[in-house]
Structure 1
């Protein structure tokens, strides 16, 4: 019987160059826009901001074809032990107007009211921890934009997302979120993303279980490109990594 979840954490991307950048410089967080509907009966009915993150999933390979179709046919599979060691966590899926969403909405309002009245060390600390928690919220379902495509009523719950979000202090020069107006400006977004290089999520070759390319024609090219990453991997490590290359075509056909 196949597992519902995998013992690996997968990160897929639409371009081989993006995958190579991960192998060269590890995972670098990027601001991703999230809109979370909470409770339309309360003053603060939703969150809307861009959060610095790296996303993974633990969908079993036998069930992952639709995920690949959405996010891309190049990717990397990490051990789940690596993810746990680096404090990744499954996200919390929120159903609008549930008791949980109502509690989060009320808590958010209380935090913002406290900051308005007095911005001291205690209130800043509370705000930091609330932001760290809210960065792991996602709607149970909703619309999703990928490039020029908009997918309607996507059930995000099926993605089984694990997330890395760096802990950024309240008064840091690096924003722990971006509002929609800043996120919508490409030059601002590029500048803010560049600041996240110091929050990279590192790994060693032994933490990698799979390297995914699109089809058989790209295996040899990926092997050559791996051997060119000499600054990070030893020749022995590169030989081991080349043995972990698998194609997304194989997944679709054989799993």
Structure 2
């Protein structure tokens, strides 16, 4: 068995979130990304949709961290939509230090804000949006932080907004208190509320629910969106619904 999958999977915390994705496609949202280097920490908001490239036989730990509901799409779809694997950097590496410091020095030397960058400059800075620490603390809302979590095990693929569009490349949380972060995220998300990452029924390999009993609720959602999921497509997708209960026992 290979170390990667032919499917990229996005997980979410609730059935309602999954139904929203099936109905409205993926909403692009600014997510907090903390990148540690030897001499500096970069606390950013990055507009993204994240997926993992993990075989089902190894995916249980990821589910425990990110949610028991998900949708798996073909790797071909990911490539055609411009998704890219994340660049994992160790916080002690000179590469991390040199790359990030160089980019930020270039920014502050000519422009005071990311929003002032022109299209070419945005393209050069785009690499930051695909950067993540190899290992660090995993903080999830409502859950105890996991120390020294190995992010590279997720084999993340990430979608970000075209840097040439008229949106902030990322938001800087450097001078924002923890209590104000949700407000900062909401302000940024309003700017991109119409942005969607689209997919078709043919792109779907799996739909994941937590319990077997939730299959019917997903089927009802698919049947309600006739324009996107005609009857024949719904019949095909029913066979693609899999539960976390199955994943824990059969893979």
State whether residues 143 and 151 of structure 1, in contact with CA within 8 Å, keep that contact through their aligned partners in structure 2: yes
Task: Tell me the residue number matched to 1:165.
Answer: 160
1:126 shift after superposition = 4.6
Selected match of 1:135 from 108, 115, 129: 129
Q: TM-score, normalised by structure 1?
A: 0.88
Gaps of 5+ in 1: none
Instruction: Output one character per residue of 1:192-222: Cα deviation in whole Å (capped at 9) or x when no partner.
Output: 2133233311011000000011121111222
Alignment of 1:54-93 (within 5 A): 54-93=49-88
Instruction: Output one character per residue of 1:25-52: Cα deviation in whole Å (capped at 9) or x when no partner.
Output: 1111111111111232xxxx23211101
State whether residues 226 and 242 of structure 1, in contact with CA within 8 Å, keep that contact through their aligned partners in structure 2: no
1:191 shift after superposition = 3.8
State whether residues 31 and 185 of structure 2, in contact with CA within 8 Å, keep that contact through their aligned partners in structure 1: no
Distance in 2 (alpha carbons) for counterparts of 1:59 and 1:143: 20
Selected match of 1:211 from 207, 214, 220: 207
With over 3 angstroms needed to count, the CA separation of the structure-2 counterparts of 1:90 and 1:230, relative to structure 1, is: same
Distance in 1 (alpha carbons) for counterparts of 2:82 and 2:60: 27
Gaps of 5+ in 2: none
Partner SS for 2:221: helix
Task: Tell me the residue number matched to 1:30.
Answer: 29
Instruction: Output one character per residue of 1:26-85: Cα deviation in whole Å (capped at 9) or x when no partner.
Output: 111111111111232xxxx23211101000011111000000111111100000000000
Partner SS for 2:193: helix
Q: How many residues align?
A: 245
Selected match of 1:107 from 91, 102, 106: 102
Selected match of 1:249 from 215, 238, 245: 245
Task: Tell me the residue number matched to 1:49.
Answer: 44
Task: Tell me the residue number matched to 1:232.
Answer: 228
What's the C-alpha RMSD, in Å, of the aligned pairs?
2.2
1:124 shift after superposition = 3.0
Alignment of 1:187-226 (within 5 A): 187-226=183-222
Distance in 1 (alpha carbons) for counterparts of 2:76 and 2:177: 36
Q: TM-score, normalised by structure 2?
A: 0.90
Instruction: Output one character per residue of 1:83-135: Cα deviation in whole Å (capped at 9) or x when no partner.
Output: 00011000000112313113213422441243249x9x9x7345302331110
Partner SS for 2:5: strand
With over 3 angstroms needed to count, the CA separation of the structure-2 counterparts of 1:110 and 1:20, relative to structure 1, is: same
Distance in 1 (alpha carbons) for counterparts of 2:61 and 2:181: 31
Partner SS for 2:26: coil
Range with greater deviation from structure 2 (232-241 or 87-96): 232-241
